[in-house]
Amino acid sequence: MPSFADARALAETVLADHLRDRWLHVQAVTREALQLAELPEVDREPLIQAAVLHDIGYSPVVARSGFHPLDGARFLSARGYDDRVVALVAHHSAAVVEAAERGIDGLDRFPDEESPTRDALWYSDAVTGPRGERCTPDERWAEIRVRYGTDHVVTWYLDRAEPVLRAAVERTEARWADAPR
């Protein structure tokens, strides 16, 4: 079973050379996840592996369907990654909503666990900008809408997914506030 170090090396290999800004984003998402991995009910290893691998499907080495959560999950599954890590990558940031907008099938092969671990991954992605800068979820979602424009499928997905994304962020913030220090 691949370790976090293996996952990080793989992500760096397929992202850093091809998509430098994406690699900066992934590293920052992973830093957020490492903090949240200490929360009760959050499973450390699946979270941090999924964080460092969540955008691997953007890599030209990995991309096949053009839908990065699915491409990443398939790539990782073929390389023997834990089914849970693969599913977290497949479903990160409400990917099922975007898949529906795009008419893409295949995510149902991977279970969506609806857990504090999943919420922590979604939170980590929502508070990290496209080049790794820390931001609020509202700033992140506004940036995405501006970058893609009103007539793009990513904006339509975000319009539909924002309530479930916001709920995951709020649950994670509540867990953080309630965590013993």
The boundaries of the domain holding residue 173 are 4-178
Q: Structurally, how many domains does the chain consist of?
A: 1
Sequence-distant (≥ 6) Cβ neighbours of residue 62 within 8 angstroms? 14, 56, 71, 72, 75
- The CATH number covering residue 174 comes to 1.10.3210
pLDDT digit string, tens, across residues 76-131:
999 999 999 999 999 999 999 999 999 999 999 999 999 999 999 999 999 999 99
Q: Using DSSP, state whether 153 is helix, strand or coil.
A: helix
Q: What is the dihedral of CA 44, 47, 52, 54, to 10 degrees?
A: 170
Question: Is the pLDDT score of 174 beyond 90?
Answer: yes
Average pLDDT over the chain, rounded to an integer: 96
DSSP 12: I
